[in-house]
Amino acid sequence: MSDFPGHDSEPIARIVALVRQTQLPSPTLTPAEALLALDPNDVEYVLHARFAADADREVIAVGLPASPGAASGVLVLSADDAIVAAAAGQSVILVRRETTPDDVVGMQCANGIVTARGGMASHAALVARGWGIPAVVGAADVEVLDRAIRVGARTIPAGSWLSIDGGTGTVFVGAADVANHEPPAELHALLGWADELARHCVVVRASADTAADASYARSVGAQGIGLCRTEHMFLHTERLALLRRFILADDRAEEDAALAGLEDAQRNDFEAIFAAMDGLPVTVRLLDAPLHEFLPTPDALLTAEVRGELDDAGRRVLAAVRRLHEVNPMIGTRGIRLGVLRPALYPMQVRAICRAAAARITQGGSPRVDILIPMVMDPTEMVIARSWVADAMAATATAVALGDVVRVGAMIETPRAALLAADIAAVADFISFGTNDLTQLAFGLSRDDAEAQMLPQYLAHRLLSANPFVTLDERGVGRLVAMACDAARSARSNLAIGVCGEHAGDPASISFLVACGVDSVSCSPSRVMIARLAVAQALLRNVGTSTAAPIAISLETNNNYSHESATAQLDGAAQRVLVLHALRIKGFSPLEGIAELVGLDHDVTARQLDTLLDEGLARFVPARSLWQLTPIGRDHHRNLLPGLDGDALTKLRSPYREFLHLNARFKQLCTEWQMRDEAPNDHLDADYDADCLRRLAALHEDARPIVDAFAAAVARLGLYAQRLSLACERAVAGEVKLFTGVMCGSYHDVWMELHEDLILLLGIDRSQEESF
């Protein structure tokens, strides 16, 4: 049981405890430290339904964990049966060999979904994750019959109870009690801090295809839509019929009639989505899926043909299926290639987008629209796609101008596109990585087939450390992403770069992507809260918060340490050590921040950074104009010097004990500035804020002699006194972000850097000290 009333689960209790530790009279954690201590698995726990602890469950099959959460319901084997059972008030588990667009309405009615075939990128997996429905796919032991399923020698008839755990990929026979957890208020407080930290750095968006999905995504903190997959808009019965009419059209008139109906339908969809996301960006990806996905499966048609049951319409559909057949359709006629071969399709979608945006503006809305061209492999494709967009916009009669509302970008999904990122960036307003397809093509794997057969064995034999479709492969695919980011920003320094797909909701992948310099990540709505946390944790870790081993940087003893004395007195080797040490303290930093920290001229600092770059000890991230140590650089720093001499250690240790007492007081003051009455401070009470600033000034006066004592032991630490004084003066004068702001030279930033520097010098294990 939890120590906190009303919070019985351990993950919820841990979340509550983290926030309460920031609210104690003498806080034991700052908000930043609480964020770093929060386990993303605990967040996932509270967001999804779970089986009750005492639920009795018999496992009958195991597949892939396509969409997390627990569900229990009666077994149905068709979309129609799911609709009927749900309408009668029953909980439903829909089991199919694999799902198709014809199943979508039934899937929406289901409490859980199971397929015998497919992988994590299958139709069933994508739709289930988008709607937050628990799902297990690729359960190969399940044989789907007409009115039952068979697992081994056991037959389970329709109407029997099944239960599934979409987080583990497990299917159970029988009913089970399901428990839902309401996220505690403390989680929202933590994520509010995360958003504040990530503001203006990296935003979290959602992959959403309907107004309902968009509204839900916004309610859980998404800052826009990073991927609206227009093919999913065609999955409902009326839209599917129109699209099939377009596919089967024999002449231009019939094609135009089908497109006119689709344009009106899409315009209504887009208008509703733009309304749900008013004021926030919506990235609309033009049709990506190959056309055969919108037709019946060939197996059913061929069976009907053999039985003599096909009418003229059925034979027409079968002829189209045969015509559109490709050996490997996922690298065939899809995306921009489809737009080239069916040139009326993309202009129809652009007209629908423009009409919807214009309607929203007329209604007083503020739509922000990004049109994404999928499967680009060459900049010439973007040139022709932009001409289609421009022509369609010009041909769309609207009462308002849309030039500043609509942007056109390229989706980087092929290795060739990643290698040509600079050329593509020159003709795109933004780029967005589709890491699911990029992983497939970089590895040369079919995801659905690999996840069902090969990958489990590769993981078991440790040929791969992780499923590359779940956690981004940093050594291969990640290198393509990093190279493409750097190349694209070299062509256009202000280019917006996003990532969409499952990796954008995986904390480990997000950490790497943030380091690459992306501006946004877009994941399923059900993972938005996890992504918000992961982005903040990545930024905090990049600032540098790990424990450290001893290092000696006592380069001289003159207390009058300045830029001039530093450049005049230190040789190149000493300057290199200082710059290396500054990077270790700051984690991520622009050149100016490093120079300020160590008191070196910008030119000197730049030369030393270039030296570290050449040695493989540092890397430069053009996307943010930031420097950081490489893993080799961190190891080099750790082993650089054995430690301070005994006299310097003695001189540091005594004032350091005083500093720790003052540190506790400073942490409490920061918390009171950020929080008030157990809620975020809205800074509307001028008297309250003024009192906090007065106390900051008083604390700074108390800190002066302590920092001076540090400088007496290691003279370069005197620079912290100058920086703390400047930050305090500016904060008290009205630049309040310089109180607790992150990565902006705030008093909190400088204080944390000083503390980190002291820990490094003294060889203290921060986790044992518990002072952060």
Give the span between the Cα atoms of 544 and 746, in whole angstroms.
16
Whole-angstrom Cα distance, residue 83 to residue 87? 6
Q: List Cα–Cα distances, 109 to 89, 113, 148, 190, 573, in angstroms.
A: 10, 10, 20, 33, 68
CA 634/CA 441 separation, integer angstroms:
33
| Count of C-beta atoms within a 10 Å radius of residue 632 | 12
Q: Which of 500, 670, 692, 728 is catalytic?
A: 500
What is the dihedral angle through the alpha carbons of 438, 442, 446, 448, rounded to the nearest 10 degrees?
-50
Burial 421-451 (b: 16+ CB within 10 A, else e): bbbbbebbbbbbbbbbbbbbbbbebbbbebb
Alpha carbon distances (Å) from 151 to 139, 348, 524: 10, 47, 31
User: How many whole angstroms from its chain centre is CA 734?
Assistant: 34
354: which 2 tokens? 């423009």
Burial of 607 (0-12, 13-18, 19+ CB in 10 A): middle
Whether the CB-CB separation of 605 and 581 falls below 8 Å is answered with no
Continuous segment of H or E residues that includes residue 478: helix 477-491
C-alpha distances in angstroms, 519 versus 72, 513, 516? Answer: 39, 9, 10
8 A C-beta contact, residue 548 and residue 537: no
DSSP type of residue 237: H
Q: How far apart are CA 457 and CA 455, in angstroms?
A: 5
Q: Is 123 a catalytic residue?
A: yes
Please indicate whether residue 581 is annotated as part of the active site: no
- Contact between residue 236 and residue 104 where contact means Cβ atoms under 8 Å apart: yes
Which of 48, 123, 503, 748 is catalytic? The answer is 123
Q: Which residues are identified as catalytic?
A: 123, 500
